[in-house]
Amino acid sequence: MYWSGKKWAETRPQEIALDHLTKANGDVVQGGPFRGMRSLTTMDDGCIVPKLIGCYEEEIHHWIEEIIGWKPTRVIDVGCASGWYTTGFAYRLPEAEVYGYDLDDGALERARELSVLNGVSDRVILRKERLSAVGLGSVVLPRETVIMVDIDGPEIDLLVPEEDPRLLEADILVEFHDHFDPTISSTIVERFAPTHHIQRLFATGRDPSHYRELDAFRTRWVREAAVAERRPVNPRQEFALMTRQAG
């Protein structure tokens, strides 16, 4: 009973907010770097309310805009899940080809649906594959590629330029998962520090008062739970943007 009650407390506010948002705005994302994009509107898609509001992974929005400004020819999204970034980058970069990799059939089907919904499926290539460093390197276009990695720990085994130096020819946005292995972030940073400029930041919480879409809800519990992304706090979730140094 405890666990079913805990699950209800986590999901019910998102269900309430999702119903309100879709009645008010349909499936259109209201803010953030992918504002105007159409979104899936089922609870199967993780963090669906933050995505519709436009505050999902808000900490890295400035990096996403920076990447878009580079106009990369290719984006590779490893651990693409339901395709938020694969479709988002294809939506914002009309000349780019975007690859999405995941191991979950349901997630890949949702990613495919999202790309079709936004009319970018001709430039989104989705694959069910567990990539090695060599496999990832084989998809890199030198100096024209951005790699995103969010795979809950195995990033330490994937981002290994010693196994494929082509990885050094890409810019990389990675989500570290040191709560699985405390050496992940330091190991990856050490590998890329000689060739890349590395910026790091921690995930933060959301203040629901910042999002007018939640003003309709009087209960703070509902507002806070609706935008919660439930990230690890010990250690805190960390992101890194690793960009190639000039020269």
Q: Mention every residue, 6+ apart, whose C-beta is less than 8 A from residue 193.
A: none
What integer best gives the mean pLDDT of the chain? 92
pLDDT tens-digit map of 87-142: 999 999 999 999 999 999 999 999 999 999 999 999 999 999 999 999 999 999 99
The pLDDT value recorded for residue 1 is 37
Mean pLDDT over residues 47-61, rounded? 95
Domains and CATH numbers, the chain: 2-244 (3.40.50.150)
Residue 205: pLDDT band by 50, 70, 90 thresholds?
Answer: confident
The pLDDT value recorded for residue 2 is 38
The pLDDT value recorded for residue 3 is 37
The pLDDT value recorded for residue 104 is 96
Task: Say whether pLDDT at 4 is over 50.
Answer: no
Task: Say whether pLDDT at 221 is over 60.
Answer: yes
Run of H or E including 149: strand 145-149
Residue 163: pLDDT band by 50, 70, 90 thresholds?
Answer: very high
Sheet holding 238-244, edge to edge: 124-128, 97-102, 74-78, 145-149, 171-176, 238-244, 196-202
The pLDDT value recorded for residue 22 is 93
User: Which alpha helices (DSSP H) does the chain contain, by range?
Assistant: 2-25, 48-53, 61-70, 84-92, 105-117, 133-137, 155-158, 184-192, 220-227
Q: Mention every residue, 6+ apart, whose C-beta is less than 8 A from residue 96.
A: 71, 72, 73, 74, 75, 89, 90, 123
Which residue has tokens 């609870």?
Answer: 43
The pLDDT value recorded for residue 16 is 86
CA distance 76 to 137: 10
The pLDDT value recorded for residue 235 is 82
pLDDT tens-digit map of 176-188: 999 999 999 999 9
The pLDDT value recorded for residue 10 is 63
